[in-house]
Structure 1
Amino acid sequence: MATLGERIKRLRKEQGLTLQALAGDGLTKGMLSLIENNKANPSMESLSYIAERLGIDRTELLQEMPTAELRALLDEIEEKRRKVSGTDEQMLRAYTEIAEHIHPYVEKLPFRYESARLLEIYSRCCYHSKRYDWKPAFDRAEEIYEQLHLINSVADLHMFRALMKFTEHRYAEALASLQESRKLIEEQSGSLDPLKKLDFDYYESILCSATGDKKNARRLMEEAIAYSKEHQIFYQINALYRLAGFEAMLAGDLERKDYYVGKLKLFAEFSDDPEIAAYAHAVEIHYWNSFTHEYEKADRLLEETRQLLDEEDFYFLEKGKALFGMGRIEEALECFKQHRMNRFIHHPYDLAMHYEKEAYMALIYEQLGDHEQAKTYAQKAKELIEPMPELPHKRFILETYRKIFAQADGY
């Protein structure tokens, strides 16, 4: 199947046109040569210009892939995308596989919704896996969505662009970008689609909490939950309950924490989804380990829920804390050594929770008499947590750092 560049070159030669003749005043001869040799992707505006110069419709240049094949490809890719899960390594392999599957078709995709959706998925997978350059596909997807007036799809791309900054821990920039996009989409559409409203509320709440704006984070969460109840929309409710429960725990509001954890458990029963129940248990386990220090309770629930938890990410972290609290420090150390933080974790709440491991390891090495190792881990924990907002985890890590260095200096 010919590439887009090859089709342009073939049509140009069939009409007896030179590169300069086809390029005219709207393109440079050099850029047209790059396009024909598949070294540059034309914008939709450039593609329309080339088609006009060739005396054909733009879709004739793009409509190389049969509609049935295009839809079958999208169905296959959507199924692969839905199955992305597991450890960060498993997710990276899945993203890479999806990107490689779509890559041969990228330049053959016609001007259709299915093409834009494939380009959107491709750009996301390329961004996460670093397999190919994600931006040209992302820009082309946005261009198609905009010309087809698919505002919700444009909104999804705007949210993804903001969340790219979030994954780079540029939290304030991510929040500003999301708020600007929300304003733009609301102006274009008049009012947000209910599902997009909940998306914007959820992500804005996450980003407010990431920047330390707890007041607006809580307001947005509670407004979104109330909106979901009023309109009987359960979209994002699981994620909202989890976030609200964790935020209440950090605020020391036990009654509100129990309320949202209870709601999460009820929703797990309603949806018959044991993984949602596991999220509720995870909040409780972390609360007992890091806040009330009820290590035996945390350990029992950990073992009951183990099959549903991410072992490397969550289980070994919290198991290590529980064992440490029960005085089984060598077993705790082995658990902490098996812990691997998922590379897709970026929120300060999650990062701070995982950075506690370094402080616990410092305390263990101090108890084992290895003062140099204790200082190394205490220093690492301090460096990791310092850019984070003020959280109980941060206080614990900094107190551990001061304790380790005070004790070490006494030897």
Structure 2
Amino acid sequence: MATLGERIKDLRKQKGLTLQALAGDQLTKGMLSLIENNKANPSMESLSYIAERLAVDRNELLEDIPTNELRNLLEKIEQLYTQEMISDELIVKYKEIARKIKPYIDKLPFRYESARLLEIYSRCSYHTKQDGWQGPLEKAEEIYENLHMINQSADLHIFRAMMAFTEHRYSEALDMIQASRSVFKERTGILDPLKKLDFDYYESILYSAVGDTDNSKRLMEDAIDFSKKKQLFYRIDALYRLAGFQAVLNGDRASKDHYISKLRLFADFTDSKEIKAIADAIEIHYLNSFVHDYKAADALIEKNLEKHQEDKIFLFALEKGKALYGMGRLEEALGWLKKHTLWEFLHHPYDLSMHYEKDAYMAMIYMKLGNSELAVKHATIAKNLIEPMPDLPYKTFILDVYKQVTA
């Protein structure tokens, strides 16, 4: 952080003033040079004179973090900070962001820039599992509340609810998001359109997490209709993805085709390779697990592996193993299943249940290869993982495999 002398020098240079021009007739050029190089402290009278000639408030020069420095810091942090699907690469970036903000935490003044920095620091520290994120989050919320920044306050409420979600406290998270929604609706009368979509999206996710698919579907469809009516594309890809996967689980092929088609159109519109890959991943999962068209699934997997190579392998390793198993290519299937890893940032029961199929497929392969010991081992792993999950098709499948293997 800049010293008083450095702040004066930076502001002088920004305004294109020489030492002599800033010194004027009340300071000598030599004295001003000593002040700028931290070799002399100005009197309050001299400081007021310097501030006046620089066209800034004297208090800004005295602040631990002047306005100009604070804004420059926030601008740099905003360029680095992104909210996207958590990945190992993003975690590295979040650690760097938290490191840059940390020296300022205890000296931030009571203003918007400070609240935003505190919020980003809290989010980054939480996701990178660093201690000390709670206090800055509370301070950010206090500043937003006092500045009547409703949307920013709502974002922090949603963040708190989704923290409970990541800790698999699904019912508690749903209660929190619904309570927050009511609070902000009472304050504003009508929620900001983007904030309404945020609440719809997260509440829909949480309804599905507690097994209430009817309310989850209702909120998804309401949010999609609202987006169309308002001509908003915010969260539309996430809503299509969620709706498409819900249709797969419900065995509703027409709705599945509709939402995957919408997802692909949106991917073309935004030129997003990632959204295209996700649309294909939903279709592949449907082909493998629900209609057992393993050849079609494998063809679509190969198409994606050619395009994405290693960067999207986590989307397709499990499904590739399932497709190969279905085609009777057991050794190859086993190799692909071993490549699959359970991504540590998955928390929804749908995602977890789907990925827990891996050990059930490995159990069936080992059983067919005559290795009953490994078959029982992997069937037991799958059974123990799936038992706390809701009653989805994956649970039925895994428990059936366990019975077959241990019979």
Measured against the shorter chain, the TM-score band is 0.7 to 0.9
Whether 1:173 and 2:179 are equivalent positions in the alignment is no
Out of 165-174 and 310-319, give the one that drifted further: 310-319
Out of 310-319 and 390-399, give the one that drifted further: 310-319
How many Å separate the matches in 1 of 2:2 and 2:406?
67
Measured after TM superposition, the shift of residue 186 of structure 1 is 0.8
Measured after TM superposition, the shift of residue 62 of structure 1 is 9.7
Whether 1:145 and 2:140 are equivalent positions in the alignment is no
How many Å separate the matches in 1 of 2:195 and 2:384?
37
May I ask how many residue pairs the two structures share in their alignment? 350
Residue 389 of structure 1 aligns to a residue whose secondary structure is coil
Q: How does 1:193-272 map to 2 (within 5 A)?
A: 193-272=192-271
Measured after TM superposition, the shift of residue 378 of structure 1 is 0.9
How many Å separate the matches in 1 of 2:62 and 2:392?
53
Whether 1:313 and 2:304 are equivalent positions in the alignment is no
Q: How does 1:121-132 map to 2 (within 5 A)?
A: 121-132=120-131
Contact 2:263 2:276 in 1 (8 A): yes
How many Å separate the matches in 2 of 1:256 and 1:79?
39
Contact 1:63 1:109 in 2 (8 A): no
Aligned to 1:68: 68
Residue 369 of structure 1 aligns to a residue whose secondary structure is coil
Residue 82 of structure 1 aligns to a residue whose secondary structure is coil
How many Å separate the matches in 1 of 2:63 and 2:223?
42
Out of 94-103 and 134-143, give the one that drifted further: 94-103
Measured after TM superposition, the shift of residue 388 of structure 1 is 1.2
Residue 356 of structure 2 aligns to a residue whose secondary structure is helix
Out of 369-378 and 151-160, give the one that drifted further: 369-378
Aligned to 2:404: 403
How many Å separate the matches in 1 of 2:313 and 2:213?
30
Could you list the per-position Cα deviations for residues 239-297 of structure 1 after superposition, in whole angstroms to 9, with x for gaps in the alignment? 00110010011000101111111111111222222222222111101111111111111
Aligned to 2:82: 82
How many Å separate the matches in 2 of 1:271 and 1:130?
33
Measured after TM superposition, the shift of residue 231 of structure 1 is 0.9
Aligned to 1:25: none
Residue 267 of structure 2 aligns to a residue whose secondary structure is helix
Whether 1:291 and 2:296 are equivalent positions in the alignment is no
Residue 81 of structure 2 aligns to a residue whose secondary structure is helix
Aligned to 2:25: none
Using the size of structure 1 for normalisation, the TM-score is 0.81
Could you list the per-position Cα deviations for residues 133-162 of structure 1 after superposition, in whole angstroms to 9, with x for gaps in the alignment? 210011011011101100100000000000
Q: Which has the larger radius of gyration?
A: 2
Aligned to 1:276: 275
Q: How does 1:327-366 map to 2 (within 5 A)?
A: 327-366=328-367
Could you list the per-position Cα deviations for residues 95-130 of structure 1 after superposition, in whole angstroms to 9, with x for gaps in the alignment? 222211211121122212121111111111111111
1:83–1:141 distance in 2 versus 1, CA, 3 Å:
closer
Given residue 333 of structure 2, which amino acid in structure 1 is its aligned partner?
Answer: A
Structure 1 unaligned spans of 5+: 4-58, 407-411
Using the size of structure 2 for normalisation, the TM-score is 0.82
1:84–1:62 distance in 2 versus 1, CA, 3 Å:
farther
Contact 1:155 1:181 in 2 (8 A): yes
Contact 1:146 1:154 in 2 (8 A): yes
How many Å separate the matches in 1 of 2:168 and 2:370?
36
Out of 123-132 and 231-240, give the one that drifted further: 123-132
Q: How does 1:22-41 map to 2 (within 5 A)?
A: none
Residue 212 of structure 1 aligns to a residue whose secondary structure is coil
Aligned to 1:381: 382
How many Å separate the matches in 1 of 2:139 and 2:112?
11
Aligned to 1:369: 370
How many Å separate the matches in 1 of 2:61 and 2:73?
20
How many Å separate the matches in 2 of 1:107 and 1:349?
41
Contact 1:95 1:129 in 2 (8 A): yes
Residue 101 of structure 1 aligns to a residue whose secondary structure is helix
Structure 2 unaligned spans of 5+: 4-58
1:85–1:235 distance in 2 versus 1, CA, 3 Å:
closer
Out of 167-176 and 129-138, give the one that drifted further: 129-138
How many Å separate the matches in 2 of 1:118 and 1:344?
24
1:224–1:308 distance in 2 versus 1, CA, 3 Å:
farther
Measured after TM superposition, the shift of residue 298 of structure 1 is 1.1
Instruction: Name the structure, 1 or 2, with higher relative contact order (CA <8 Å, separation 6+).
Output: 1
How many Å separate the matches in 1 of 2:281 and 2:75?
34
Given residue 73 of structure 2, which amino acid in structure 1 is its aligned partner?
Answer: L
Contact 2:208 2:216 in 1 (8 A): yes
Measured after TM superposition, the shift of residue 2 of structure 1 is 9.3
1:297–1:192 distance in 2 versus 1, CA, 3 Å:
same
How many Å separate the matches in 2 of 1:279 and 1:140?
38
Residue 179 of structure 1 aligns to a residue whose secondary structure is helix
